[in-house]
A and B are shown apart, each in its own frame.
Chain A
Amino acid sequence: GAVVSQHPSWVICKSGTSVKIECRSLDFQATTMFWYRQFPKQSLMLMATSNEGSKATYEQGVEKDKFLINHASLTLSTLTVTSAHPEDSSFYICSARIPTRAGTRSYEQYFGPGTRLTVT
């Protein structure tokens, strides 16, 4: 399957600082990437959909000024958690979708390894 990488795999930061998480598609171009958040023992919660060259679409309840998403190229999307607070501590996972066949609307979705954020 397709490979999606994330960096860093874990990060500890102090309250009030900002943290940037990178998501890369390694062997394919992804026009659309997704950012999820996962709390312990829970399912994945979609935060936003990141489209290359345009503004991200945020899910209801997700603060776009707090979680800045930039999808500057077909292989890179970044999530910046601004002015982080302890309640932002979570497991953040990016995902990319690729068409199963070029030119079709049939997709597969692959996930990165996740980034564990701890805000102290």
Chain B
Amino acid sequence: GENVEQHPSTLSVQEGDSAVIKCTYSDSASNYFPWYKQELGKGPQLIIDIRSNVGEKKDQRIAVTLNKTAKHFSLHITETQPEDSAVYFCAAIRSGAGSYQLTFGKGTKLSVIP
């Protein structure tokens, strides 16, 4: 089955700096890669995603890149703000005819220091 590795497990940055979280996946058939933000005591919130036919996607301060050859994808947050502090999960999904399986990374706790 799919295995998703996520690094780092914790990340502290100064407000205004950039944060980068990296994930690798094992199943070359995975074709959809969402990122979720989970605040304390709440459910995960989909913040950005990328499909296997795209190399990069950006939405305001957040961006995701995908390298299919190396089987890794990354989340980039620029100009970080205290409200960006949360746990971020990457995931990989193999979605297609007759199959759908979402596998999460172990999460990265991001702390943005004012």
Interface size (B, Cβ < 8 Å)? 22
Interface SS of A by simple majority: strand
User: Which of B11-19, B65-73, B75-83, B101-109 is found at the contact surface with chain A?
Assistant: B101-109
Partner of A93, one of B44, B93, B95, B97: B44
Interface SS of B by simple majority: strand
Interface size (A, Cβ < 8 Å)? 22
Chain B residue nearest to A109 (CB atoms) is B102
Separation of A50 and B89 alpha carbons in the complex (Å): 23
Chain A residue nearest to B107 (CB atoms) is A43
The interface residues of chain B lying within 8 Å CB-to-CB of A6 are 43
> Does chain A have a CB within 8 A of B61?
no
Give a binary string over A27-47; 1 marks a CB under 8 Å from any B CB, 0 the rest: 000001010000000111010
The interface residues of chain B lying within 8 Å CB-to-CB of A1 are 46
Contact yes or no, A106 B51, CB < 8 A: yes
Contact yes or no, A108 B36, CB < 8 A: no
The interface residues of chain B lying within 8 Å CB-to-CB of A97 are 100
The interface residues of chain A lying within 8 Å CB-to-CB of B45 are 111
Which residues of A come within 8 Å of B, CB atoms? Answer: 1, 4, 6, 32, 34, 42-44, 46, 93, 97, 105-114, 116
